Homo-oligomer: A and B are copies of this chain.
């Protein structure tokens, strides 16, 4: 049994790690760190988990000390845990970093998208971008995992088969993402105030969203051709759920069955991808994946113009965060990829 510590355990992603690891056969949570809630029991901020984790209290992470665990999950906001992570790397601890701190390989991109000079550029190449559907080979045996962003995950999964087989115009890729309110985390702010958020439909960060760079980094591995893509996220009033709609134009005359084959080939054997295009359903719905690690993927072609869209619906806190982190970790540890993640979605919810 591996023992895990969670940094930032009081946030929503931390809460999902706690929830999912309850059902993991090989990993148990030993330490839950939170500066703000130090000494409070875990159910103080996660009242749904009352009765689970009896006796576990949040602790303040003492930077001088090793977390005394086999695995550390970093669920802190971007930048907050970067120095801790670097020290843990030195200590040789296995790390799954759910922040953006080590996702990008090119340190220059941190200036462009995050506005800071990355303090550990040499570490960037040591982290594996933990998207199992693309990088499972690299993940085997990996000790440092940078877990992808939720919008990036949804976008890449929707587009990867189309890009790999080069059947779309790679110069005009529009990624239009719609996300629920839990994506912004637990801290209240004006945009998440219920009267302001419920019922909204609004674009945000329409001048450039950071997850685009993750998309581009991974997409470039799939093709040798030039790529131009842009991402525009929108806030809607779901709590959980992200839907990525990736639009471009077919460069070959393919029908829907051909497209189905493109996706089926790409995701063959991937346990958490459900290609939902079928006789009973055509398009994904975020409501079908709530609480689970499944990504429901599909596509649609408009015959009038040749526009094709790839779609992914996922739960931003699970396949977009905590679940995917466990999935990647499972692979890296040589466990079954599905371990602890076979919980079915909850619907209606």
Contacts from A to B (Cβ < 8 Å):
12, 15, 19, 22-23, 40-41, 43-44, 46-52, 112, 169, 172, 174, 176, 178-182, 186-190, 192-204, 206-208, 212, 228-230, 232, 234, 236-243, 245, 247, 249, 274, 276, 280-292, 294, 296, 300-305, 307, 309, 311, 313, 343-349
**Who on chain B is nearest to A229 by CB?**
B305
Q: CB distance A207 to B291 under 8 Å? A: no
A237 touching B240 in the complex, CB below 8 Å, given contacts A12-B195, A172-B172, A181-B195: no
A44, A180, A229, A276: residue with the most chain B Cβ atoms closer than 10 Å: A180
State A181–B241 Cα separation when bound (angstroms): 18
A44 interface neighbour in B280, B284, B303, Cβ under 8 Å:
B280
Q: In the complex, given contacts A43-B280, A172-B249, what are 14 additional A-B residue pairs having Cβ atoms less than 8 angstroms apart?
A: A40-B280, A48-B345, A50-B296, A174-B176, A176-B176, A180-B199, A199-B239, A200-B286, A203-B283, A203-B284, A232-B245, A239-B349, A290-B346, A291-B346
Q: CB distance B289 to A48 under 8 Å? A: yes
A294: chain B residues within 8 A (beta carbon): 51
State A109–B194 Cα separation when bound (angstroms): 32
A178 touching B181 in the complex, CB below 8 Å, given contacts A197-B194, A240-B199: no
12 contacts between A and B (CB under 8 A): A12-B348, A40-B280, A169-B172, A179-B201, A186-B193, A188-B188, A196-B348, A200-B241, A201-B236, A228-B249, A229-B305, A230-B304
Q: How far is the CB of A180 from chain B (nearest CB, A)?
A: 7
For the complex of A and B, the 9 pairs showing the least CB-CB separation, nearest first, are A206-B300, A195-B348, A230-B307, A48-B345, A188-B188, A202-B285, A181-B194, A48-B347, A194-B197
Q: CB distance B274 to A46 under 8 Å? A: no
A204: chain B residues within 8 A (beta carbon): 283
**Who on chain B is nearest to A203 by CB?**
B283
A174: chain B residues within 8 A (beta carbon): 174, 176, 247, 307
A198: chain B residues within 8 A (beta carbon): 181, 194, 197-198, 237, 239
A307: chain B residues within 8 A (beta carbon): 174, 230, 232
**Who on chain B is nearest to A290 by CB?**
B349
A208: chain B residues within 8 A (beta carbon): 302-304
A349: chain B residues within 8 A (beta carbon): 199, 239-240, 290-291, 346, 349
A229: chain B residues within 8 A (beta carbon): 305
A172, A189, A201, A344: residue with the most chain B Cβ atoms closer than 10 Å: A201
Q: CB distance B239 to A348 under 8 Å? A: yes
A203 interface neighbour in B180, B280, B309, Cβ under 8 Å:
B309
State A290–B199 Cα separation when bound (angstroms): 10
A300: chain B residues within 8 A (beta carbon): 203, 206-207, 232
Q: How far is the CB of A225 from chain B (nearest CB, A)?
A: 16
State A287–B237 Cα separation when bound (angstroms): 11
A249: chain B residues within 8 A (beta carbon): 172, 228
A344 interface neighbour in B52, B239, B241, B301, Cβ under 8 Å:
B52
